[in-house]
Amino acid sequence: MCFSTTASFGAGVILSGAGILAAKKVTEPKQRMFAAIPAIFAIQQFTEGFVWLSLTQESFASWLRPAAFVFLFFAEVLWPLWIPLAMLKLETRAERKQILRFLSGLGLVFALHTLYYLMTNAFEAQISEYHIGYTLHFRSSFVIFTWIVYGILTVVPTFVSSVPKMWIVGVPMTASFFIAKILYPNNVISVWCYFAAIISIIVVIQQMEMSKKLMFRPKSQT
């Protein structure tokens, strides 16, 4: 399997359509953050498309650092905050809200900390084994901390959520991480984000299910 400029831009187009469809299925304001996930992934994939261009075409070389920074911002900073907040917005059970509030608070601290590291440390992007490899020159202790907390913040909230079948988002996300880690150990950030982006199309299905339940819910319960 080979990823490329075409693959990134193609995924961006598909996810843009999925994002529009998910947005159309929103029936309550609390669903907006969740429904926006495919659209945000679309922007992220378009951004990596420009990283590919900057690495393969000399005329785009000056775009490399800003494009790589934006991609890494989405991958390393935004998602660990966005996912728990989106799940918190949807949650109705008090005890689970408490857990998701904690995860959202942790996500905010993690996002700010990672953003600081991203802005104050060197990073590189280069084509490696037909994929883009991102090198983050962070302290090794911070890298280990990042993987553990990042995994908790981006996957666990989908299992904490009481929304029916939300686990169908979390399971493939978890599986795709291990696939990326095992098969593409030097390109995990890029490959997992690509897998996660495609998997985020499931959000449309989940959004349709939530909208359907709200449509047929008795008015006394709204």
Domain ranges of the chain: 5-221
* Closest C-alpha to 80, from 121, 45, 112, 47: 112
| Two structure tokens written together for 42 | 């679309």
Sign of CA dihedral 25, 26, 32, 34: negative
Q: What angle do CA 110, 113, 114 make, to 5 degrees?
A: 85
- Residues 159 and 189: their CA atoms lie apart, in Å, by 22
The label of the residue with tokens 């598909």 reads: 14
- Has residue 208 got a pLDDT over 70? yes
Give one word for 129, left, alpha or beta, with left for phi > 0 and alpha for psi -120 to 50.
left
What does the pLDDT look like over 21-76, one tens digit per residue?
989 888 889 999 999 999 999 999 999 999 999 999 999 999 999 999 999 999 98
- Look up the pTM and report it: 0.86
